[in-house]
Structure 1
Amino acid sequence: MDKILNSEKSGSFPRFGRRRGKYELETSSFRLENVKAKEHDDDKVTGSNDILLEHGLKHDQKLEQVDQFIESLAAARDKSMSPEIPDQMEVFLKMVNSRIATYEMREASAKFGQNKVEDSLFFEALTHLSKIVKYLGEFTLDSATTGCFNRTKSILQRAMSLLETEFQALLDNSKRSCNVDSKTPKSPKQSVFDSNQHKTETEFLNFPPESIAIVKQAATAMIFAGYEAECCIAYTAVRLNALDAEFNKQGYKNFNMEDFQRMEWASQEGEIDNWTRIVKYCTKNLFPIERKLSNLIFEHSSTAQRMFCDLATSLTIKLLSFPNALLLFKQYSMEKLFKFLDIYETLCDLISGIGNDLSAKDLIHETSVTRRRIGEAAVSMFCELEDSIKNDNGRIPVANGAVHPLTRYTMNYLKYACEYKDTLEKVFRQHNETEGSTKQQPKNATDNNGESTSNTSHFATQLMLVMDLLDANIDTKSNLYRDPSLRYIFLMNNGRYMLQKVKSSNDIYEVAGDDWLRKKSSDLMQYHKNYQRETWGKVLQCMSHEGLQVNGKVSKSTLKERFKSFNAMFEEIRKTQSAWIVSDEQLKSELRVSISAVVIPAYRSFLARFGSHLNKGKQQEKYIKYQPEDIEVVIDELFEGTAASIGRRRLMHLSQ
């Protein structure tokens, strides 16, 4: 295209005259050699009004006679005979040629618009010229008629050259006027986010209404005369230059992708953000503006749409080079998922901005292919999360039963992913339609009758599979703890963390659903019961009344053993479980309340009934080390993860 445009900058229109017939002269000049000098003499000494006065004609009279001639040409059925050329044709041609010369001598940026009436008459005359060339060219011409035909065509070509120059000048002047602040451009983010649509149109599409009117008249005249290709090429060239300048202003740059690949991911994220911002600027601002401009200038919607699509194609091919280059790396690590989803959503917006006209079919297809490939990359990244859970086979348990880092990472990842749930739904649906789904169904993907639920979304299915994998992984890791009580603390911590993450996010709750929440809550209750049985069941046995009385009397030796066992067990629980961690405050409170509700009443009752059977003094001090209030203090300090400090606080309390 550049080669064609460069060859036409001189205004000689080498591609003009596609309609030339067999009687056209063998010259590339716009004017016939035998009339060229005469035309220029006429241009210098004679104005169009003078020509009309010389022949005693008014403009309307002359056009009326020319109209009659055109009508006779159009109505003629026999094209084998040359038509008779009326005398007024010479007057008409002289007048048009003189008017062209007048326009040509004006300043480059002010050829039209000085006199609207004159401009209107001139464009009307060009319409007549175009019709004469069209209809006269259908006849078999003799030598006399050929001269008129060629002279008419030469003048029309000269007019088209004038119009093309003015057409480009008006578009180019408006382009420059919109960049008057190019020396101090706003930052890219300001130019997009700190300006509204109207302001952007005012700055970028700075065409006064009178300029639009002239450009539209010029385009209409050129297209009617058969110079649509030249008009469109000129329009595309000027607008592409303007759009390239705007791209640069917005911070667009062509990347050396090898350099990009060597960047740290944080830097790559910044470049992706910049790309998505520029694409959004195109879809929200540039594309609507260009569509509006083409509709204003070109009367026919098909031409206007084609012009817009040509420009959109040029911009979009440039924009698509970035995501296509990203896909070449095939570095689909799961932390990159969300930036790829941003790219996917941006490409969806880009397709909407292009529109669905048939002339944009290839462009939409190309963009859709890139979007689909980005979607497949996103699927790979999400599935890598599954693989990371499956492959996490660490044999070292998390200290003190705390929430496992894998649990935190996975749940936060899923919570963030659910903010893209609509996009991920599209991505997985597209993937399943293309590749088919061979994966197992998640545990909660069946109804009460055990039948598969057909209305589960693709993304929800995928998310619940990840949750199932995480549950299985947590259960496996819980077996690394030798202490059964700590195992249940670990299960409660991780299960509670998952539950709270789901509850705190409407997006992830909507995907997981009530069934999952009920199941997880039920599991947590069971873990709680198992913990109490493993930890405090043996403690409560120490306070059992059974076996303490022999022949109706309390056995002091047995009673002493019971107190000793209680003291030892409780001290061991204090030492170990004060170091255990329960990070969820509500869960910690629930555990403490439930322990207190079981242990303290039982101990108070046991102490009240059997404490007096021990001799007061040293015997009671030796075996009764805790009062109910002391037990309550210790229970309230369990699961803090700081055994040493708890022990010190307890000793201080007991010494008071």
Structure 2
Amino acid sequence: MMLLFKPSLTLGRRIKPRPCQSFSESLLMDSIEAAETLTRKWISPDLSSSSSCSLSSIFSTDNRVEGRRFVEVINSLQYAIQGVVLVNPESPKLTRAHNLVTIAMKQLEKEFYRILKSNRRNLDPESVSVRSSPSFNARNKVSIYSQVPKSEEADVMTDLKMIADCMISSGYENECIKIYKKIRGSIMVEALSNLGFENLSFGKIQKLDWDSMEKNIKKWLEATKVLITNLFEGERILSDHVFSPSVSVAESCFTEITLDSALTLFIFPVSVARCKKTVEKIFLTLDIYQTISQLMPQIEEIFSYDSTTAVRLQAADSLNNLGEEINSMVAEFEASITKESSKTPIRGGSVHQLTRYVMNFIVFLADYHECLAGVLTESTLPLPEDYFGNNDEDNNEGETGSSSTVTTRIAWLILVLLCKIDTKSRMYNDMALSYLFLANNLHYVISKVRTSNMRVVLGDEWVTNHEGKVTQYLEKYEKIAWGEVITSLFDSNEEMLEEHVAKERLMRFNEGFEEAFQKQSEWVVPDSKLRDDLKDSVTEKLTTVTTTFYEKYHVENWEEVKFAPEDLDNYLSDLFLGTGRSCIIVPSLKQSDSGRSLKDSESGR
């Protein structure tokens, strides 16, 4: 069966334009008229001219509202053009519209340049960093601004963003980026120059004397903190804000402006690490390591783009090289303690210069204990099990592996020192002086630990344990130095001795006391509290035995009496000062003047 259709009435007739076409062109005409009005007002009254001559800055402080209105009108014009192109790409109105866009883009180029150039103070990277509070999105690697601060700087940043958005969407991306990179790049170069950091090759760094090296390191330390926390961060904030619609454009601008400077910044520490330095220079090396380590989270955040991976890697490489150098210098320091070869005993058993040097070094080292936690490797030899006292496990409870490494490494350095001091104590012919030497040096070590960050590192248990060892050394000193003097009068037998036997004992006491005092007159205890405590201990023991003996035998009228118990403290007053003075003997004391002191006797002469 054949179906017959009614012929269409529209065949052969002219097709009428769709309503949407008329609407698009109507919208375009409205946009053209709005754009022409603002163009005549702000750019050039003569739109037929191929060149434009701005009558005034559209984005000056007074005209900012008009400037933003101008950008909005051009954006609307672009939208209208796209609508007409879709329905009637041959429309004659498009030529007129494109000419307007060209004029507008040339003007926006000038405005973009002028804003960047004339607002160097407001757009200084340091100012941008301090005033803005961005948070970096780790996934998208783009700054997210929850709130733009109300300030001239914020207005300028908003203007730049509006212009950049308009130019990029209009196909003028290259022109916009070129201007931005040129102006911002020159600002970065100027900022680096003002910081005074000099880019030196490894060869030049190797040839520097230490004073020059130290100056360059200090300049680097100052420059790095400013560059990372202010300049680079501020530049990242600004580029991410201005080019927020396009991550690739923001990345391109930021990378070109900062990459070379950032790489130069972190190549310097590697060069420093490779230079030969004495052990004392470890602290500036630690300063560099600590600075990079503390700034590393910001470095990774600021230079999170793929195109800035080299900066992150260079910073990490700097840390690795510096860490190796620090470990090498600590090992060298330990070796220098072991190799110390002085053969002359310290006069009077005082604190050895090696003890002072090593402990002052370790005190400074302990100030970097948090930094060292990520650097130091453990000593190859274990510490004695009781080195930290009986509660070794409790003392280290809660410590992480890295902090425990710092504790054991510093404890090991002190142990190496104490072993060396023990060896040097054998240079003394007198065992009592040898123990006094050990006590002086260990007490000095403990005092340094107690009054510095080493107490945090080693713990109170270490201090208590070693204070006990000082007490043991002093007890051995007293026993050897004064034992015979004390026992010469000591009598465990309750029976009375014959008078001539008692007098012989008293004479032995006198001779022993004078000999012991004379021998020890040049001995030294530098610490005043330790010196007083030791004198009090010796005096107490001597006073106890002499008082007991004198009372038992009523020796007041004996010619053999030289030292009254109550005067022993005065006799021993110069002990451990290293004066070398002989014992001043007071004539036999009678009962009438037995209560007089040595000072009273001397003043009456």
TM bin (shorter chain): 0.7 to 0.9
* Equivalent of residue 436 in structure 2, options 482, 485, 489: 489
Question: C-alpha root-mean-square deviation of aligned residues, in Å?
Answer: 4.3
Counterpart-to-counterpart distance in 2, 1:403 and 1:492: 9
Equivalent in 624, 634, 637 of residue 574 of structure 2: 637
Which segment drifts farther, 576-585 or 260-269?
Answer: 260-269
Cα drift, residue 417 of structure 1: 1.9
Match of 2:592 in 1: none
1:529-540 correspondence runs (5 A): 529-540=475-486
Q: In the TM superposition, what are the counterparts of 1:109-508 in structure 2 within 5 Å?
A: 110=57, 112-113=59-60, 119-120=67-68, 122-127=70-75, 156=101, 159-175=104-120, 197=130, 210-255=155-200, 265-300=210-245, 302=247, 303-304=249-250, 307-308=253-254, 310-331=256-277, 333-356=278-301, 358-359=304-305, 360-428=308-376, 432=377, 439-443=380-384, 455=399, 457-505=404-452, 507-508=453-454
Instruction: Quickly say closer, same or farther: Cα 1:461–1:610, change in 2 above 3 A.
Output: same
1:491 is aligned with what amino acid? L
Call closer, same or farther: CA 1:438–1:388 in 2, change over 3 Å.
Answer: closer
**What is the CA distance between 1:546 and its match in structure 2?**
7.4
Q: Which amino acid aligns with 1:220?
A: D
Three-state SS of the structure 2 residue aligned to 1:596 is helix
Specify every segment of 5 or more residues in structure 2 that has no aligned partner in the other structure, as ranges: 1-19, 46-50, 133-149, 587-596
- SS for the counterpart of 2:523 is coil
The offset of 1:651, in angstroms, is 8.8
Deviation track 1:60-117 (CA, whole Å, cap 9, x = no partner) reads: xxxx97972699xxxxxxxxxxxxxx9999989988987865693126x825447557
Comparing 267-276 with 597-606, which one deviates more in the overlay? 267-276
> Is the 8 Å Cα contact of residues 424 and 459 (structure 1) preserved in structure 2?
yes
2-structure distance, mates of 1:66, 1:253: 66
Report the equivalent of 1:518.
Answer: 464
The change in CA–CA distance for 1:87 and 1:301 in structure 2 (over 3 A counts) is closer
Mapped partners of 2:73, 2:391: distance in 1: 83
Between the aligned partners of 1:100 and 1:250, the Cα distance in structure 2 is 41
Greater share of residues in helix: 1
Which residue of the partner structure matches residue 591 of structure 2? none
Change beyond 3 A, Cα 1:117–1:421? closer
Q: Deviation per CA, 1:449-505, whole angstroms, max 9, x where unpaired?
A: 998978452211211111221221121111111110001111111111112222222
Q: Distance in 2 between matches of 1:451 and 1:352?
A: 34
Percent identical pairs in the alignment equals 27
Amino acid at match of 2:238: L
- Post-superposition shift, 1:652? 7.6
Structure 1 residues 23-69: Cα deviation after superposition (integer angstroms, max 9, x where no partner): xxxxxxxxxxxxxxxxxxxxxxxxxxxxxxxxxxxxxxxxx979726
Q: State the 1:121 CA deviation.
A: 5.4
Per-residue CA deviation, residues 212-271 of structure 1 (Å, 9 max, x unaligned), is: 343222111122134434423321221121222233333333447666555553553343
Query: For 2:262 and 2:176, how far apart are their aligned partners in 1?
Result: 23
Q: Which moved more, 1:120-129 or 1:537-546?
A: 120-129
Partner SS for 1:607: helix
Structure 1 residue 535, shift from structure 2 partner: 1.0
Contact 2:478 2:538 in 1 (8 A): yes
> Could you say if the C-alpha distance between residues 648 and 310 of structure 1 is closer, same or farther in structure 2, counting changes exceeding 3 Å?
farther
| Distance in structure 1 (CA, Å) of the matches to 2:241 and 2:193 | 26
Shift of 1:446: 8.2
Query: Would you say 1:509 and 2:465 are equivalent positions?
Result: no
CA distance in 2, matches of 1:510, 1:162: 65
**Which of 499, 523, 527 is 1:580 aligned to?**
523
Is 2:498 the partner of 1:554? Answer: yes
Aligned to 1:569: 512
Q: Structure 1 residues 584, 138: CA separation in 2 closer, same or farther (over 3 Å shift)?
A: farther
Task: Note closer, same or farther for the CA distance 1:599–1:447 as it changes in structure 2 (3 Å cut).
Answer: closer
Cα gap change, 1:466 to 1:157, in 2 (>3 Å):
farther
How far apart are 1:654 and its partner, in Å? 5.3
Q: Mapping of 1:8-157 within 5 angstroms?
A: 68=24, 104-106=52-54, 110=57, 112-113=59-60, 119-120=67-68, 122-127=70-75, 156=101
Deviation at 1:177, TM superposition (A): 8.1
Q: Judging changes above 3 Å, is the alpha-carbon distance between structure 1 residues 116 and 488 closer, same or farther for their aligned structure 2 residues?
A: closer
Cα–Cα, structure 1 residues 636 and 263, in superposed 2: closer, same or farther, change >3 Å?
Answer: farther
Where do 5+ consecutive residues of structure 1 fail to align?
Answer: 1-63, 72-85, 180-191, 200-204
Instruction: Determine if contact 2:113/2:180 at 8 Å carries over to the other structure.
Output: yes
Distance 2:405 2:568 in 1: 52
Q: CA deviation at 1:611?
A: 6.4
**Is contact 2:24–2:83 with CA below 8 Å preserved after alignment?**
no
Q: Aligned partners of 2:231, 2:337: CA distance in 1, in Å?
A: 45
SS of residue paired to 2:563? coil
Cα distance between partner residues in 2 of 1:573 and 1:309: 79
For residues 168 and 419 of structure 2, the distance between their equivalents in structure 1, rounded to whole angstroms, comes to: 71
Contact 1:236 1:310 in 2 (8 A): yes
Partner of 2:563: 626
Q: Residue deviations 1:340-369, cap 9 Å, x none?
A: 222122213433333526415432222122
Amino acid at match of 2:24: Q
The alpha carbon displacement at 1:534 in A equals 0.5
Which TM-score applies when normalising by structure 1? 0.70
Does the CA contact (< 8 Å) of 1:67 and 1:128 recur in 2?
no
Partners of 1:66 and 1:343 in 2: CA distance = 70
Amino acid in structure 2 at the alignment position of 1:243: M
